[in-house]
Chain A
Amino acid sequence: MNDELKSIWLKFFNWVMGNGPRPENEVLPPEPPPDLPFTQKPHDKFSRFHEATLKERYNQWLEIHGLHIFSILYSALSILTCLVIVVLLLATVAELPPFGHERNPANNEVIRRYVEHGWHETGAQNIVAGLILDYRAFDTFGESSVLFTAAVSVLMILGNSRSSKKYKFKQLHVYRNDDTILRGVAVMAIPVILMMGCVVVINGHLSAGGGFAGGAILSTALILCANAYGFESVRRFFNERIFIVSSSTALMIYALSKGYSFFTGANQLHSIIPKGVVGNILSAGLILPLNICVGLIVAGTLYGFYALFSEGDI
């Protein structure tokens, strides 16, 4: 019984994976000899030995129509699953506390602690910056590592254009080198975008923004430069080597400085990092350098994604 079940499951598995016999490869059963003499023809209607058995006919039918029926079943089942999930979740949402109410369970004593004591414990005016770069700095370190790892993996997968295996898509891109309008706009826009990115990174502990947002703005300046002047001109000051070195250095600085801060804080030791006056640029202890590290990683990574997907090389 168990063996039978196993063989049925194996057949089903092979059928699902598409390993089974295909109609064109199948050995057809030998046809009955066409010109039998009339007297030798089977006249008994119950002895249908020349016909396929029910199982064989079912298998034939399955091979012709199976994939079609499977796809219809698959679509119906997946739509049904999604509908069930959505209805269940909607029922849950209907039970949630009202939107935007101040007595919601999410606005509990954790929030009071962060808002009322965060500013003098971290020195940051922006409570979210103090939250993500001081209280939960290792979380942000993990995020930066994830981003860096993704960039390095994409570099590994796509960045082999220097080897003999040429990138097929490169010929599809035609870079116009005489686009006067784009270049004129780029000359005016790139300094402004760079300055904006630096302001958002450096003011991360004072206003909205921070390393991630500012790094994204910086990367748009690099992408605009690459589009207006070609990737070669960006490669003069930002190539693969500089990307790897700057990102790993920023990650190392982040890990070491925040490790020191956590070590002294957890052991009640005296930390040499001053908190400063809340509201000044040079305040909030480690948040400013950490924001700069994160901004470097994000800018390099996002530009790296763009360059790798369009050129196959940073």
Chain B
Amino acid sequence: MLENLLLNHYEAAAVILSGIGLTNLLLQRNLIKKIIGLNIMDTAVYLFLAAKGYVAGRAAPILIEKAGGGWLTSSSIYVNPVPAGLVLTGIVVSVSVTAFSLALTLRLYEHYGTLNIDEALLKMTQEQEELEAKIEDAEEEVLA
């Protein structure tokens, strides 16, 4: 088993990276650090896909010209092109999600003055209580 792990050390590193990212996501109370944890998990996925597409001793999947014209089209000289496309999808989605969550975090910081999710939640609860008290007062005034 250990030999296999050493042989697949890229995949093992990807798995460990994804574990680090998940721990970061769960344990950090700072929202920006949480987003960084998410990005570490994304990176682990890219590493895993790129490692799965590699074939030892083969060239990148761009056709090589033959000496006398024409193209070398044998499938035994190029690596797997599908993981490249999948990694592209992953990168785009990760960039979009990161930008969107950072924008929301910026707005949250503007409103509550903190990046700590516990403090922000506490302030949110207090705000809601104040709002409810105000609504009750207004209702009493209307009834009176």
A contact residues vs B (CB 8 Å cutoff): 17-19, 75, 78-79, 81-83, 85-86, 89-91, 93-96, 98-102, 104, 106-107, 110-112, 114-116, 119, 125-128, 131-132, 136, 139-140, 143-144, 146-147, 149-151, 153-154, 157-158, 168-169, 206-208, 212, 278-279, 302, 305, 308-309
Contacts and interface: CB of A to CB of B under 8 A. Distances in A.
Nearest to B48: A93
B11 A112 contact: no
B107 A106 contact: no
B102 interface: yes
B100 A154 contact: yes
10 contacts: A90-B16, A94-B4, A94-B8, A99-B7, A100-B54, A115-B75, A116-B75, A128-B84, A150-B99, A279-B65
Interface of B: 1-2, 4-5, 7-12, 15-16, 18-19, 22-23, 26-27, 51-56, 58, 60-63, 65, 71, 73-76, 78, 80-82, 84-85, 88-89, 91-93, 95-97, 99-100, 102-104, 106-107, 110, 121-122, 125
B37 to A, nearest CB: 11
B19 to A, nearest CB: 4
A128 B81 contact: yes
Contacts of B23: 78-79, 82
Q: DSSP class of A's interface residues: helix, strand, loop or mixed?
A: helix
Contacts of B65: 279
A132 B54 contact: no
A302 B99 CA distance: 10
Given A96-B8, A111-B82, A308 B103 contact: yes
A97 B66 CA distance: 33
A99 B62 contact: no
Nearest to B107: A157
A79 B106 CA distance: 28
Given A115-B73, A146-B92, A149-B96, A89 B15 contact: yes
